[in-house]
């Protein structure tokens, strides 16, 4: 088992719990500042190289084989549908992808019966409403989704909900839960075959130390 | 959005690209190497048509593939045509119609492009270069092994230093899913999760449907198993006395033994949880991987019921290699060393055209690559002038007839690769002069494999 595997870790909320899970599994990842400049960390002791990248970039790195393994939220996987293997639910960073609307919803004064949805997840939202036969108009936003209904930009939103405090603060109520999300371990299809021993060891050790139930972030 | 001004338009369709001369030359040479080997194993080439009737070919295409096909109307019949998305289905159709001969087995190969709408982000072309083989009309582990050994041979012929063939049997996992007693709808969900090795989702489906803990664990663990004899042993423990589990396992073991006898066991790993995207596979399946390319370079398997869908029941097996991905996996120089064929340029004034033409043809006949050019002004027929204009600076040699200071039987020769200085030689001596001056300096004007005489 001399080969090294490259692991792409998601920057941001998932990073600290991921690194602590790796430590509990007996690996030796370095101290990484979330906003640090360094993006590549060699861990020869564990036969690993860690990449710290944006969550939405993790699937691309793994799908193309630039990284053998990735740790990324299920929300990103549902949005991008990458062609990778998804071997393990790490059960950290749990949250749900939900539909929310203003408490005092008034029907918008428009001819079209389409419901306007503001979201960071256009694919998830479109699939969800299409499968239910609801005509929608998707507005892709990059942040602060909860602002959209308040300003009249959209009728509803599709967004991540963890504690529900953000929704409350903006007078929004959750109407439907689309899916649950938590951090997943994904693997490149070729790497699983060509570097099987290293990857199997990583999966087995993380499986032993992951939480018994999904933990909210 | 409703502006009357046109937005700048893309000039190339998504997923289309031209292969430029250096790449094209390498790709064609790689294809020749592969087809040469395949031919030596007794497979004969079929050139399938580029389009087919959709209603005919769709019998052999899975719904997800059908959705990715390029389709267009045939104005003469009102029927829908499809650009071939998969050559295996075409060959199945051809064989089912009784073409290709009656003597079994049939060994066919093809070099072809297939067309599929691929999502942009997957980073692959919509016109895919493939080389593939089909072995039709026979069933048995030694025939499965024949194809696997041919695949290994092709990877070696391409000069890949290191590659892994992942070998499985769809029957094993299918049987485990049957044992689970899932409803057809839930089973499709489980199959989808298994094909993508989406373990969390599979776990969820199995738990919701109250599949027994023991079987659920087996179903999950099978997807992670990957190895050699240990995988077979583990599979046998799972299989117990169930003949429907033992049969695929025995088949796999026996194919594997053939591969070991042929000295190729070290390239193989066994994976009992391997599923394929094409739904026509029903036996041994395999893919080939290398660690520098994140996807399979090729793959295939046994499809004993595909040709039957076109009306003639024949067991079959086959595989295809993705030329683009194989090319990406090769190091420069692998399999085919770089030989940029720099031409010899024969230049003359119009009145020496006949002599220049004869010379060019004589040089071509003895293996040189020759570009013939005619210059209209006497001033342009000077080495000095060419050099100033930077014309033909990448030629291996420039031969000039009819320039000032030359008799009818003489020529100037200059080697742009070294200096543009011209030396005067007799035309009759040209082949031997070029031979010694160009070849001894390492500039290469030869066609591959032939020495100028």
Q: What is the value of ipTM here, to two decimals?
A: 0.84
Where a domain ends, among B287, B315, B336? B336
- Classify each residue of B9-27 as buried b or exposed e, where b means 16 or more C-beta atoms within 10 Å of its C-beta: eeeeeebeeeeeeeeebbb
**Is B14 inside a domain boundary?**
no
Exposed (0-12), middle (13-18) or buried (19+): which is B354, by Cβ within 10 Å? exposed
A66:B166 CB<8 A: no
**Is B6 inside a domain boundary?**
no
> In this structure, what CATH number is given to the domain that contains residue B206?
3.30.930.10
How many domains are contained in chain B? Answer: 2
Residue of B453 and B115 predicted with greater confidence: B115
Rounded mean pLDDT of B120-145? 88
Element of type H or E holding B107: strand B106-115
B349 and B316 part of one domain: no
**Is B295 inside a domain boundary?**
yes
Report pLDDT digits (tens) over B16-32. 888 888 889 889 999 99
- Which of 82-121 (B) contact A at CB < 8 A? 121
Q: What confidence score (pLDDT) does residue B433 get?
A: 86
B139 and B288 part of one domain: yes
Report pLDDT digits (tens) over B363-400. 999 889 999 999 887 777 888 888 888 888 888 899 99
B359 and B313 part of one domain: no
Cross-strand pairs, B72? B81
Query: What string of H, E and C letters represents the secondary structure of chain A?
Result: CCCCEEEEEECCCCHHHHHHHHHHCCCCCCCCCCCCCCCEEEEHHHCEEEEEECHHHHHHHHHCCCCCEEEEEHHHHHHHCCCCEEEEECCCCEEEEEEEEECCCCCCCCCCCCEEEEECCHHHHHHHHHHCCCCEEEEECCCCCCHHHHCCCCCEEEEEECCCHHHHHCCEEEEEEEEEECEEEEECHHHHHHCHHHHHHHHHHHHHHCCCCCCEC
Interchain contact A38–B (C-beta under 8 A): no
Neighbours of B292 (CB within 10 A): 16
CB B169 within 8 A of CB B248: yes
Interchain contact A191–B (C-beta under 8 A): yes
Interchain contact A213–B (C-beta under 8 A): no
Of B77-86, B191-200, B261-270, least confident by mean pLDDT is B191-200
Q: Which of B123, B198, B289 sits opposite A194 (nearest CB)?
A: B289
**Is B445 inside a domain boundary?**
no
Where a domain ends, among B284, B308, B336? B336
B198:A63 CB<8 A: no
**Spans of chain A, pLDDT less than 50:** none
Where a domain ends, among B314, B336, B358? B336
User: Virtual CA dihedral for B145, B149, B150, B153, nearest 10 degrees?
Assistant: 180
Report pLDDT digits (tens) over B262-273. 999 999 999 998
Q: What confidence score (pLDDT) does residue B443 get?
A: 45
B119 and B185 part of one domain: yes
B409 and B330 part of one domain: no
Report pLDDT digits (tens) over B346-355. 999 898 899 9
- Which of 162-181 (A) contact B at CB < 8 A? none
**Is B413 inside a domain boundary?**
yes
Report pLDDT digits (tens) over B239-298. 999 999 999 999 999 999 999 999 999 999 999 987 665 577 889 999 999 988 888 999
B161 and B251 part of one domain: yes
Interchain contact B269–A (C-beta under 8 A): yes
Kindly indicate the confidence band of residue B449, based on its pLDDT and cuts at 50, 70 and 90: very low
Q: What confidence score (pLDDT) does residue B39 get?
A: 97
- Classify each residue of A184-204 as buried b or exposed e, where b means 16 or more C-beta atoms within 10 Å of its C-beta: bbbbbbbbbbbbbebbbebbe
A86:B200 CB<8 A: yes
For B11, the token pair is 């000039």
Report pLDDT digits (tens) over B104-113. 899 999 999 9
Domain that holds residue B246: 21-336
> Within chain B, what is the greatest distance between any pair of CA atoms?
97
Looking at the predicted structure, is the pLDDT value of residue B453 above 50?
Answer: no
> In this structure, what CATH number is given to the domain that contains residue B383?
3.40.50.800
**Is B448 inside a domain boundary?**
no
Looking at the predicted structure, is the pLDDT value of residue B448 above 90?
Answer: no
Q: Closest approach of chain A CAs to the CA of B200, in angstroms?
A: 6
> β-strand A172-181 against A95-102: which pairing, if any?
antiparallel
B54 and B107 part of one domain: yes
* Contacting residues of B for A194, CB less than 8 Å apart: 164, 289-291
* Contacting residues of B for A62, CB less than 8 Å apart: 294
Neighbours of A133 (CB within 10 A): 6
Residue of B nearest to A184 (CA): B200
Q: Which of A60, A62, A194 sits opposite B290 (nearest CB)?
A: A194
Kindly indicate the confidence band of residue B6, based on its pLDDT and cuts at 50, 70 and 90: confident
Tell me the pTM.
0.87
Q: What confidence score (pLDDT) does residue B242 get?
A: 93
Looking at the predicted structure, is the pLDDT value of residue B442 above 70?
Answer: no
Exposed (0-12), middle (13-18) or buried (19+): which is B390, by Cβ within 10 Å? exposed
Neighbours of A105 (CB within 10 A): 13
B72 and B106 part of one domain: yes
Q: What confidence score (pLDDT) does residue B124 get?
A: 66
Give the best residue of A3, A4, A193 to mutate against chain B (max B CB count within 10 A): A193
Per cent of chain B over pLDDT 70 is 91
Looking at the predicted structure, is the pLDDT value of residue B439 above 90?
Answer: no
**Is B447 inside a domain boundary?**
no
Of the CA atoms within 13 Å of residue A100, those in its CB half-sphere come to 29
Cross-strand pairs, B134? B108, B318
Looking at the predicted structure, is the pLDDT value of residue B334 above 60?
Answer: no
Element of type H or E holding B72: strand B71-73
Looking at the predicted structure, is the pLDDT value of residue B451 above 60?
Answer: no
All structural domains of chain A: 5-93+182-209 (3.40.190.10), 95-179 (3.40.190.10)
B165 and B255 part of one domain: yes
B43 and B191 part of one domain: yes
B243 and B366 part of one domain: no
Q: What confidence score (pLDDT) does residue A127 get?
A: 94
Kindly indicate the confidence band of residue B118, based on its pLDDT and cuts at 50, 70 and 90: confident
Residue in B447, B140, B132, B186 with CA at minimum distance from that of residue B299 = B132
**Is B12 inside a domain boundary?**
no
Q: Which of B122, B224, B227 sits opposite A203 (nearest CB)?
A: B224
Looking at the predicted structure, is the pLDDT value of residue B447 above 50?
Answer: no
- Classify each residue of A138-151 as buried b or exposed e, where b means 16 or more C-beta atoms within 10 Å of its C-beta: bbebeeebbebbee
B291:A194 CB<8 A: yes
B141 and B272 part of one domain: yes
Kindly indicate the confidence band of residue B4, based on its pLDDT and cuts at 50, 70 and 90: low
């Amino acid at each position: 088992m001399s080969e090294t595997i490259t692991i792409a870790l998601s920057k941001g909320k998932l990073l600290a719990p991921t690194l602590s899970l790796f430590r509990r599994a007996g690996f030796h990842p370095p101290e990484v500042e979330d906003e640090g400049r360094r993006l590549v960390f060699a861990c020869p002791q564990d036969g690993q190289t860690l990449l710290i990248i944006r969550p939405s970039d993790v699937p691309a790195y793994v799908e193309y084989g630039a990284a053998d393994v990735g740790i990324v939220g299920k929300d990103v996987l549902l949005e991008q549908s990458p062609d990778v293997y998804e071997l393990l639910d790490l059960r950290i960073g749990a949250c749900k992808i939900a539909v929310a609307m203003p408490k005092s919803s008034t029907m918008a004064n428009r001819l079209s019966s389409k419901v306007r949805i503001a979201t960071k997840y256009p694919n998830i939202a479109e699939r969800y409403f299409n499968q239910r036969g609801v005509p929608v108009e998707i507005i892709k936003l990059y942040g602060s989704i909860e602002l959209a209904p308040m300003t009249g930009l959209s009728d509803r939103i599709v967004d991540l909900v963890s504690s529900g405090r953000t929704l409350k603060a903006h007078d929004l109520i959750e109407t439907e839960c689309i899916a649950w999300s938590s951090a997943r371990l994904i693997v490149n299809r070729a790497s699983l075959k060509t570097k099987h021993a290293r990857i199997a060891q990583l999966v087995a050790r993380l499986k032993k130390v992951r939480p018994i139930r999904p933990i909210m972030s | 959005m409703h502006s009357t001004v046109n937005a700048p338009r893309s000039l190339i369709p998504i997923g289309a690209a031209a292969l430029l001369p250096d790449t094209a030359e390498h790709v064609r040479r790689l294809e020749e190497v592969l087809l040469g080997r395949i031919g030596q194993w007794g497979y004969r080439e079929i050139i399938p048509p580029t389009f087919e009737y959709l209603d005919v070919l769709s019998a052999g295409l899975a719904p997800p593939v059908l959705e990715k096909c390029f389709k267009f109307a045939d104005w003469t019949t009102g029927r829908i045509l499809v650009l071939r998305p998969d050559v295996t289905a075409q060959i199945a159709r051809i064989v089912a119609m009784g073409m290709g001969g009656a003597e079994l087995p049939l060994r066919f190969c093809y070099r072809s492009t297939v067309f599929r709408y691929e999502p942009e982000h997957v980073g692959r072309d919509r016109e895919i270069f493939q080389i593939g083989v089909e072995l039709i009309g026979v069933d048995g582990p030694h025939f499965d092994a024949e194809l696997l050994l041919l695949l290994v041979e092709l990877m070696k012929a391409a000069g890949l230093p290191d590659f892994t063939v992942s070998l499985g049997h769809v029957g094993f996992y299918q049987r485990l899913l049957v044992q689970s007693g899932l409803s057809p709808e839930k089973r499709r969900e489980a199959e989808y999760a298994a094909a993508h090795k989406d373990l969390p989702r599979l776990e969820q489906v199995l738990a919701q449907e109250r599949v027994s803990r023991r079987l659920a664990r087996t179903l999950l663990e099978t997807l992670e198993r990957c190895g050699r004899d240990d995988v077979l042993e583990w599979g046998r423990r799972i299989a117990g006395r169930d003949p429907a589990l033992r049969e695929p396992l025995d088949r796999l073991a026996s194919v594997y033994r053939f591969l070991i006898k042929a000295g190729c066991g070290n390239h193989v790993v066994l994976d009992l949880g391997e599923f394929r995207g094409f739904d026509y596979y029903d036996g041994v399946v395999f893919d080939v991987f290398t660690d520098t390319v994140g996807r399979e370079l090729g793959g295939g398997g046994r499809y004993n019921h595909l040709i039957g869908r076109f009306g003639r029941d024949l067991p079959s097996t086959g595989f295809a290699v993705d030329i683009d991905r194989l090319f990406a996996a090769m190091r420069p120089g692998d399999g085919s060393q770089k030989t940029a064929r720099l031409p010899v340029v024969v230049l003359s004034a119009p009145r020496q055209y006949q002599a220049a033409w004869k010379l060019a043809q004589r040089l071509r006949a003895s293996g040189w690559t020759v570009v013939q050019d005619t210059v209209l002004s006497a001033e342009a027929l000077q080495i000095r002038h060419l050099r100033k204009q930077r014309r033909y600076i990448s030629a291996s040699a420039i031969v000039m007839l009819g320039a000032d200071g030359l008799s009818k039987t003489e020529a100037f020769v200059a080697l742009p690769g070294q200096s543009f200085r011209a030396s005067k030689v007799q035309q009759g001596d040209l082949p031997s002069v070029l031979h010694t001056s160009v070849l001894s300096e390492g500039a290469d004007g030869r066609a591959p494999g032939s020495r100028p005489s």
